């Protein structure tokens, strides 16, 4: 049975407006089962395939409907949960398709819209606002929706009191932070109590009888606050002269503990077991000795003790907790004290996801930062399974210097003000990569095209390797030889990329110099001989089997190919350590930056010892000659073409 458009059922959308009257004949019909092209209508009895719709502005055949975007209003927005804030509230539209645009107005405060999220600010405590939401898509709009909520209710300040003054049948005190805009009420554990302005009067007590007075401050749209004040009537105000007398000692429950404070323990506390130290002053005993003081946290952790302070444990670091106390004697338990709060902290959790990847002469160690236990992480310790610990690491990843061919795995610890975390799970084992060195050829010979000359070897003066060819890095400085930096001498093995060396330059080698100039220079005078600062840009480490020791001084240890600045035959030049001969004079310097004198050390003996050790090459910029245990040496070459 056919139905008219007005009788048809629409699911999940607002029905479209009444059909538009078609234009007068003649009509152009599309074949059965096809859509009519723009500007035409499908003939009666022909339909688009199921699930398809007529284009915007055109009539769908009987039984089919145009989607909401083609003429009908948009669905009304659906709102998710409302979250109250200190000065307003937030909520989001949950049925957005990502193409709608939203705007809003509010009856109170200010409303801002970010995507599908609405934020109301500027409300006072518990003040409500009504937000009207408008949704648009192209030229279509939804029915406006209103949302009403309020800001969080603020807390009143806890009442504070003066000292109590005893009277014949009670005592008096004042509310020291009295606020006339608030309403105050009182209750007593004994006797009666009345309030007049900031003054509080307790009466109806017998001689020396005590009472705990609870004062509550209230105000519309605010959370009330309460505090307890204890006092007692004075026995000295009673006097009589009976011919006979009898006495009895009256006792009560204790007074609540006073002056509660909470402090973070923090240092050395294990992650996941935060602790707080609760300090207090004992109140009146009620005539019976107090057997215990009891602490309860807002997280339901409890602890007891007989003296102040009492430590509460089992909390989560970085979370704020409040604490109240009671006192217990043989008569029972006191009222709860006023509250104190603190955010306890711990050492960090162990880092996670530790991985290591082998690089050339170092391993790169990465990890995921852990929960800091409520106290910021200040550094990390990176631990090698074979070569100790590096401390003071500030972030992941870290490049751990290692000898090529060594196999290590790594663990990491996190450090904050409270201490060092547990050690992480270990990375996989990696084997440090070695640099590649192409084959080399004997001194005095040129390498054929595609190869390199050997480290430290050059053609005779005036001759050079063919254009475009270079010697590979010369591994020169022994790992224990001291190298001059801006912070003093340091062993070569302890220098890192980014450190700044104090290097020497002079006319002919002035920081922007080519390999050709370094290899060939031979001059009679070192003019403009001075210090400059050179930053280490790259470090290469290799293993050698022989070491040169000059004049028997083991502090002056170099590889056999180390190039040392010497004066020989009246000329200053660079000479390989294994080519030094007695009578050569080595150029040395002092570490005083203002001392640019040239000092000469006579070569008396050269010893070659067999030892397997590591040697270091430091690429640096600007280029200068390195000072190694006072000796001026070359070590690596600048990245300039020989031409």
- 458 pLDDT band, cuts 50/70/90, is very low
Distance between CA atoms of residues 399 and 142, nearest Å: 58
Centre a 10 Å sphere on the Cβ of residue 637 and count the other Cβ atoms it contains: 21
What pairing do the DSSP bridges indicate for beta strands 362-368 and 377-384?
unpaired
Mean pLDDT across the chain: 80
CATH classification for the domain delimited by 352-431, as one of 3.20.20.10, 2.60.40.10, 1.20.1250.20, 3.40.50.1100: 2.60.40.10
Distance between CA atoms of residues 389 and 368, nearest Å: 18
User: In this structure, are residues 514 and 638 in contact, taking their beta carbons and an 8 Å threshold?
Assistant: yes
Tell me what pLDDT residue 301 has: 96
pLDDT tens-digit series, residues 475-496: 578 888 889 998 888 988 999 9
pLDDT tens-digit series, residues 152-180: 888 888 999 999 998 888 999 999 999 99
- Residue 9 clears pLDDT 70, i.e. is over it: no
What pairing do the DSSP bridges indicate for beta strands 154-155 and 222-223?
parallel
Distance between CA atoms of residues 573 and 318, nearest Å: 65
Tell me what pLDDT residue 500 has: 94
Bigger pLDDT: 548 vs 424? 424
Lowest mean pLDDT among 52-66, 263-277, 496-510: 52-66
Same fold yes or no, 83-152 and 477-634: no
Tell me what pLDDT residue 636 has: 66
Token pair recorded at residue 538: 């790259």
Residue 300 CA neighbour count, 13 Å, CB half: 0
Q: Which residues contact 415 (CB under 8 A, 6 or more apart)?
A: 348, 377, 378, 379, 380, 381, 391, 421
3-state SS, one letter per residue, for 459-487: CCCCCCCCCCCCCCCCCCEECCCEEEECC
Bigger pLDDT: 215 vs 634? 215
Tell me what pLDDT residue 54 has: 42
Q: Which residues contact 12 (CB under 8 A, 6 or more apart)?
A: 75
Tell me what pLDDT residue 334 has: 94
Instruction: Give the CA-trace dihedral at 514, 515, 516, 517, to 10 degrees.
Output: 60
**Quick one: CATH architecture of 155-236?**
Sandwich (2.60)
Q: Which residues contact 67 (CB under 8 A, 6 or more apart)?
A: 13, 53
CATH classification for the domain delimited by 258-342, as one of 3.50.30.60, 2.60.40.10, 3.30.930.10, 2.40.160.10: 2.60.40.10
Q: What angle do CA 158, 161, 162 make, to 5 degrees?
A: 160
Overall average pLDDT of the 75-100 stretch = 90
- Residue 58 clears pLDDT 50, i.e. is over it: no
Distance between CA atoms of residues 95 and 135, nearest Å: 11
Which one, of 426, 431, 450, 451, lies nearest residue 440 by Cα?
Answer: 451
- What is the domain partition of the chain in residue ranges? 83-152, 155-236, 258-342, 352-431, 477-634
Distance from the first to the final alpha carbon of the chain: 95
- Superfamily name and number for 477-634: Hedgehog/Intein (Hint) domain (2.170.16.10)
Token pair recorded at residue 465: 């390797």
User: In this structure, are residues 567 and 600 in contact, taking their beta carbons and an 8 Å threshold?
Assistant: yes
**Quick one: CATH architecture of 83-152?**
Sandwich (2.60)
Tell me what pLDDT residue 300 has: 96
Tell me what pLDDT residue 76 has: 84
Tell me what pLDDT residue 73 has: 66
Distance between CA atoms of residues 56 and 65, nearest Å: 11
Token pair recorded at residue 200: 């509080």
CB burial of residue 584 (10 Å; 0-12, 13-18, 19+) = buried
pLDDT tens-digit series, residues 400-413: 988 888 999 999 99
């Amino acid at each position: 049975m056919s139905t008219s458009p007005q009788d048809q059922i629409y699911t999940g959308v607002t029905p479209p407006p009444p059909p538009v009257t078609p234009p007068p004949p003649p009509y152009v019909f599309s074949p059965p089962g096809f859509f009519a092209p723009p500007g035409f209508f499908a003939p009666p009895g022909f339909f688009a395939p199921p699930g398809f719709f007529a284009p915007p502005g055109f009539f769908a055949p009987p039984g089919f409907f145009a989607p909401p975007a083609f003429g009908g209003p948009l669905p009304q927005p659906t709102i998710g949960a409302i979250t109250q804030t200190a000065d307003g509230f937030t909520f989001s539209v949950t049925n957005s398709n990502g193409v709608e645009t939203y705007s809003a107005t509010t009856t109170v405060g200010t409303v801002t819209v970010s995507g599908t999220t609405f934020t109301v600010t500027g409300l006072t405590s518990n003040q409500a606002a009504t937000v009207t939401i408008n949704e648009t898509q192209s030229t279509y709009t939804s029915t406006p929706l209103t949302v009403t909520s309020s800001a969080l209710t603020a807390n009143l300040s806890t009442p504070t009191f003066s000292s109590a003054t005893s009277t014949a049948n009670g005592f008096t005190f004042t509310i020291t932070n009295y606020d006339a805009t608030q309403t105050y009420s009182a209750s007593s554990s004994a006797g009666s109590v009345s309030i007049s302005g900031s003054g509080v009067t307790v009466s109806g007590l017998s001689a020396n009888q005590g009472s705990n007075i609870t004062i509550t401050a209230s105000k519309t749209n605010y959370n009330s606050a309460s505090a307890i004040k204890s006092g007692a009537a004075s026995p000295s105000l009673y006097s009589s002269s009976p011919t006979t007398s009898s006495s009895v000692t009256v006792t009560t429950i204790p007074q609540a503990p006073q002056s509660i404070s909470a402090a973070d323990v923090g240092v050395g506390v294990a992650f996941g077991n935060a602790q707080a130290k609760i300090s207090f002053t004992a109140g009146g005993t009620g005539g019976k000795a107090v057997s215990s003081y009891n602490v309860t946290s807002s997280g339901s952790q409890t602890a007891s003790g007989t003296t102040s302070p009492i430590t509460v444990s089992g909390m989560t670091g970085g979370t704020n907790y409040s604490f109240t106390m009671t006192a217990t004697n043989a008569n029972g338990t006191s009222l709860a004290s006023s509250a104190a709060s603190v955010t306890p902290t711990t050492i960090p959790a162990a880092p996670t996801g530790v991985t290591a990847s082998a690089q050339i002469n170092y391993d790169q160690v990465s990890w995921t930062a852990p929960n800091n236990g409520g106290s910021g992480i200040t550094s990390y310790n990176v631990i090698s399974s074979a070569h100790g610990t590096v401390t003071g690491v500030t972030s992941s990843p870290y490049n751990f210097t290692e000898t090529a061919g060594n196999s290590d795995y790594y663990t990491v610890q996190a450090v904050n003000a409270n201490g060092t975390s547990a050690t992480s799970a270990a990375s996989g084992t990696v084997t440090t990569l070695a640099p590649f060195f192409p084959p080399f050829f004997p001194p005095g010979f040129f390498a054929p095209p595609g190869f390199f000359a050997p480290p430290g070897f050059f053609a005779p003066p005036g001759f050079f390797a063919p254009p475009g060819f270079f010697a590979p890095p010369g591994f020169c400085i022994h790992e224990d030889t001291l190298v001059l930096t801006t912070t003093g001498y340091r062993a070569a093995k302890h220098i890192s990329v980014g450190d700044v060396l104090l290097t020497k330059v002079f006319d002919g080698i002035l920081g922007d110099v080519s390999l050709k100039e370094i290899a060939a220079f031979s001059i009679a005078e070192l003019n403009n001989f001075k210090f400059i600062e050179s930053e280490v840009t790259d470090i290469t480490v290799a293993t050698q089997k022989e070491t040169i020791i000059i004049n028997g001084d083991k502090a002056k240890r170099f590889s056999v190919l180390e190039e040392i600045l010497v004066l020989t035959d009246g000329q200053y030049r660079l000479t390989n350590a294994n080519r030094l001969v007695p009578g050569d004079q080595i150029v040395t310097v002092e570490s005083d930056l203002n001392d640019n004198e040239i000092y000469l050390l006579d070569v008396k003996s050269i010893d070659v010892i067999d030892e397997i050790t590591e040697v270091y090459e430091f690429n640096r910029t600007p280029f200068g000659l390195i000072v190694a245990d006072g000796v001026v040496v070359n070590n690596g070459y600048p990245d300039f073409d020989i031409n």
